[in-house]
Amino acid sequence: MFEAVESSFLVPFDGTFSIKKVSTKHKGKVPSKKQYHKNLTKLIEKMSDYQRTLYAHDHHAILLIFQAMDAAGKDSTIRAVTSGINPAGCQVFSFKQPSSRELEHDFLWRTTRCLPERGRIGIFNRSYYEEVLVVRVHPEYLQSQRLSEPYNLKSIWKERFESIREHEQHLARNGTVILKFWLNVSKKEQKRRFLSRIEVPEKNWKFSSGDIKERGYWNEYMGAYEQAVNATSRPWAPWYAIPADHKPFMRLAVAEILVKTFERLGLRYPKLNKSEQAELEQMRLLLEQESAYSRF
């Protein structure tokens, strides 16, 4: 279906990623609407099967992180990709402006509380990366974070990148599989989607004047994304730069990468040892005897 999707969008681990060199549009053939639904359905069915095995296997957790500019399609992609997964095995958390309680802790605290346990899929709609993206574009936000020492704008981002790398490596060592998706939408396509939110009454609720304000910092955000992605794309926590101007392709690409990741994990249902099998056989005999006696 998609040839080498992972390698096409995988961000290098050597710090050479350049936003100017990646496209917001998929350059290959885009499937028709009918084929899109067919392909996505197949991928979702596979993910549903893998999710059940993940839960039974109980040795890994999956953490999906979505970052993007406004209107890139984070919500719709999460909804589409998880539509066939058992809700009991999937947790979605959205992180917006920190609360007063969250500001009393370090910048990783509020997301750490929401990490998925083994056997589950956790999804972060925005994440601790906001602390090196929006806060970097608006460094005045640091003033409300009650940092223990005077901060230096020349070093704080480097220090936070280091904390994020160590945090993610610790999670990976302990069984959490981390996949990070930057949904790369163009400024032109964002404008079109904003206008749609204004013109279509059912979408009005999605629009905020703050969206236009942040759009004015587009270049600053692109610079922040490039540095953050380069500093934190590692084999144990890779970033994928997914073209986001065509939503159906974007959703398929994310689903494909997730399925490929599941395939590599070697998940399996637990096998009982001899004593457990013997106990199971005893339970079977008891149930059969119960069925025989119930005839009288």
What's the average model confidence in pLDDT over 88-96? 94
**Mean pLDDT within 287-295:** 71
Dist CA 202 CA 124 (whole Å): 25
pLDDT at 273: 87
Q: Over the chain, what is the mean pLDDT?
A: 93
Task: Write the pLDDT tens digit of every residue in 168-218.
Answer: 999 999 999 999 999 999 999 999 999 999 999 889 988 888 889 999 999
The pLDDT-based confidence of 157 (bands split at 50, 70, 90) is very high
Looking at residue 295, what is its pLDDT?
A: 56
Q: How is the chain split into domains, by residue range?
A: 5-293
Can you give the pLDDT at residue 29? 78
> If you average pLDDT over residues 60-71, what whole number do you get?
97
Q: Where do runs of H (alpha helix) occur along the chain?
A: 5-9, 33-57, 74-81, 109-112, 134-137, 156-173, 187-199, 209-215, 218-232, 247-265, 274-293
Burial of 72 (0-12, 13-18, 19+ CB in 10 A): buried
Q: For the chain, what percent of residues have pLDDT higher than 70?
A: 97
Q: Is the pLDDT of residue 1 over 50?
A: no
Q: How crowded is the C-beta side of 95, counted as CA atoms within 13 Å?
A: 26
CB atoms within 10 A of CB 204: 10
Fold of the domain built from segment(s) 5-293: Rossmann fold (3.40.50)
Point out the least confidently predicted range of 41-50, 134-143, 263-272.
Answer: 263-272
Tell me the pLDDT band of 4, cut-offs 50, 70 and 90: low
pLDDT in the model for residue 232 = 98
For residue 239, pLDDT beyond 70 = yes
Contact 130, 95 (CB under 8 A): yes
Per-residue model confidence (pLDDT) at position 246:
94
